[in-house]
Amino acid sequence: MVDNPYYAKTKRNGEFAIDRLPPGTYQVVAWHPHLKPIEREMTVPANGRVTINFEFDAGSVQRPIYERQDKFRIGPEAHPGHGLDGCEVPYC
């Protein structure tokens, strides 16, 4: 998933926690397979508790496009004598 030990996957409600993160300043990236990643800088204090909220832009959804298949069989007019070279009955 990532190159370091400090990452989290969200719960169903969107919450996440990264335990045992040493104090310091970090770049945090929220990632979704169909949305533009969000990066934020945050500083973890010595007491170790920080709240950070991310909100993805639904207008930037990048979903794959799938073609619709209307016919699942080749019609009887397309048997080997009608232009499907190498097609053998009953596979046409």
CA distance 20 to 46: 11
**In terms of pLDDT, which residue wins out, 41 or 2?**
41
What pLDDT shows up at residue 1?
56
- Annotated domain spans of the chain: 1-62
Positive or negative torsion for Cα 53, 9, 63, 40? positive
- pLDDT, residue 32, reads 84
Distance CA 78, CA 29 (A): 53
| The pLDDT value given to residue 28 | 92
pLDDT in tens, 8-40: 988 999 899 988 889 999 999 998 887 888 999
Phi/psi-derived region of residue 48, left when phi > 0, alpha when psi is between -120 and 50, beta in every other case: left
Q: What is the pTM of this model?
A: 0.56
